[in-house]
Structure 1
Amino acid sequence: MTAYAALTGAGYRAQVRDKATLFFTFAFPLIFLVVFGLIFSGQDVQESGRPYISYIAPGVMSWGVANAAVFSVAFTLMQWRRDDLLRLIRMTPTRLPAVIGSRYVLALGVGVVQAVLFTGVALLPPFGLELKGSWPLALPALVLGITAFLTIGVVIGSLADTPEAVAAIANCLMVPMAFLSGSFLPMDMLPSWLQTASRVLPLRYLNDAVSAALSGRGGTGDVLLGCAGLVVFTVVFGAVCLKTFRWSNRV
């Protein structure tokens, strides 16, 4: 068995055994969907005339998938480094790509299940999301989004030394980004200068791509633009990962 397969299998078993974390990973975004979906049920955004659900459902789903990718890898790397597991792994022929790759495939699996479950609930009559013909394009956008936010999680997990630090850094990053990128509020409701400023946030590109694919708010060009932005952020944060990654707290 390769090191990658062993790490992936161990990570999968650890996730399945942690019932509480597994449950809230999927339930947390659904809570926001239920709250916002019921509050704004049947209402349209005045600026565009589109129903709120066409903004909120793709945005909250994107944020939930991104949030899970960041937190899962950040907590894992911090814990492994604090317990000296990473130092022991480094003593074997295992290399960094195998360590990150094992977490990546798990994040992809969780993200796809999250997206399918979330979309299925959003399609129910109380919420009324209507899928457009380009909805399959949401899948590559989500994959690229998970990739980009996984690299952010690696950076956080490399810098933080305690669970409290991971939670503080990740929340300070992900919660404001959700509001500024259109996950909880339609971008059409924000001032024009803030809409422009949000272009420096990776979640904005994921939201735009998924929204264009699922609800038809834009065309294929918007999906491609969002995917291109996510690729750029992946490259940037991937380079930061190589500079900040630590195998042990002793160095």
Structure 2
Amino acid sequence: MSSFAALTASGYRAQVRDKAALFFTFAFPLLFLVVFGLIFSGQSVEETGQLYITYIAPGVMSWGVANAAVFGMAFTLMQWRRDDLLRLIRMTPTSLPTVLASRYVLALAVGAVQALVFTTVAMLPMFGMELGARWPLALPVLVLGITSLLTIGVVIGSYADTPEAVAAIANSLMVPMAFMSGSFLPLDMLPAWMQTLSRALPLRYFNDAASAALVGRRDLDEITIGCAGLVVFALVFGMIGLKTFRWSNRS
């Protein structure tokens, strides 16, 4: 068995065994959908006349997938480094790209299942989300969104030395980003300066592209712009992550 296959298989087994973490990975974002979906059931946004669900569902889904990617990568790298597993891996022929690629594949699998479950629930009659004709384009958007946010997890996991530090840094980043990127509230309801500031956040591009693909609420150009933005963020944070990566807390 190759080192990539071994790391991927062990990572999969670790995720499956942690029932609590696995449950909340899927249940936490769904909770937001249920709460916001029931509160704004049948209501429309005054500025556009469109149902709230067309704003809320794609945005909360993107945030949930992004959250799992960031926290999953950050916690894993921190724990492996703290337990000296990364140092032991480094003594083998396994390279850094192999280590990160194994986590990347797992993140894609988790994100795909999250998106499928979330979309299925959002389409229930009680919520009423309807897929647009461009919904297959959500697949490349999902891949790029996970890639972009995963690189942020690499940076956090390379910097933080304790679970508390990972949680503090990741939450300080992801929670404000959710509100400022339109995951919980339509961007049309935010002040103009905050809408402009959100252009500096990767989740904004993820949300816009996911909305355009899933429900067709935005123009097709939003998918192109969103994907381009996610590629830029992935490259920037990917380079930062490679520069800051540590195999051991001793280094």
* 1:52-131 correspondence to structure 2 within 5 Å: 52-131=52-131
Q: Is the 8 A contact 1:205 1:230 kept in 2?
A: yes
Structure 1 partner of 2:240: 240
CA–CA separation in structure 2 for the residues paired with 1:138 and 1:188: 22
Task: Letter of the 1:49 partner, please give it.
Answer: G
Distance 1:68 1:229 in 2: 20
Q: Distance in 2 between matches of 1:81 and 1:25?
A: 23
| Structure 1 partner of 2:15 | 15
Q: What is the rounded CA distance, in whole Å, between the counterparts of 1:37 and 1:64 in structure 2? A: 15
Kindly tell me the number of residue pairs found equivalent between the two proteins.
251
Q: Percent identity?
A: 77
Give the Å deviation of 1:221: 1.2
Aligned to 2:162: 162
1:187 aligns to 2:190 (yes or no): no
Q: Tell me the alpha carbon deviations over residues 83-137 of structure 1, each in whole angstroms, 9 at most, x when there is no partner.
A: 0000000000000000000000000000000000000000001100011100111
Alignment partners' CA distance in 2, 1:242 and 1:13: 26
Q: Given residue 222 of structure 1, which amino acid in structure 2 is its aligned partner?
A: E
Q: Which residue is 2:27 aligned to?
A: 27
Query: Residue deviations 1:186-209, cap 9 Å, x none?
Result: 001011111111000000000000
2:5 is the counterpart of 1:2: no
Residue by residue over 1:198-234, the C-alpha shift from the partner in whole angstroms, topping out at 9 and shown as x without a partner, is: 0000000000000011111123211011000000000
List aligned pairs for 1:210-249, cutoff 5 A. 210-249=210-249
> How large is the Cα RMSD of the aligned pairs?
0.5
The offset of 1:242, in angstroms, is 1.2
TM-score if structure 2 supplies the norm length? 0.99
Which structure 1 residue ranges, 4+ long, deviate > 4 Å from structure 2? none
Flag structure 1 segments of 5+ consecutive residues without an equivalent: none
Cα distance in 1 between the residues matched to 2:2 and 2:215? 42
Deviation string 1:154-213 (CA, Å, 9 cap, x unpaired) is: 000000000000000000000000000000000010111111110000000000000011
Alignment check: 8 A CA contact 1:69 1:149 kept: yes
Q: Which runs of 5+ in 2 are unaligned?
A: none
Matches within 5 A, 1:168-179: 168-179=168-179
Partners of 1:179 and 1:44 in 2: how far apart? 19
Q: What is the CA–CA distance in structure 1 between the aligned matches of 2:150 and 2:230, rounded to whole Å?
A: 11
Letter of the 1:207 counterpart: N
Q: Distance in 1 between matches of 2:149 and 2:105?
A: 13
Query: Distance in 1 between the 2:171 and 2:111 partners?
Result: 19
Separation in 1 of the partners of 2:24 and 2:44? 30
- Distance across 2 between alignment mates of 1:16 and 1:198: 35
Contact 1:213–1:219 under 8 Å retained in 2 = no
Q: Structure 1: which amino acid aligns with 2:202?
A: P
| CA distance in 2 between partners of 1:141 and 1:118 (Å) | 15
CA–CA separation in structure 1 for the residues paired with 2:193 and 2:30: 30
Hey, what's the Cα distance between the residues in 1 that align with 2:153 and 2:193? 28
Q: TM-score, normalised by structure 1?
A: 0.99
- Structure 2 Cα separation of the partners of residues 72 and 129 of structure 1: 28
Q: Give the equivalent residue in structure 2 for 1:48.
A: 48
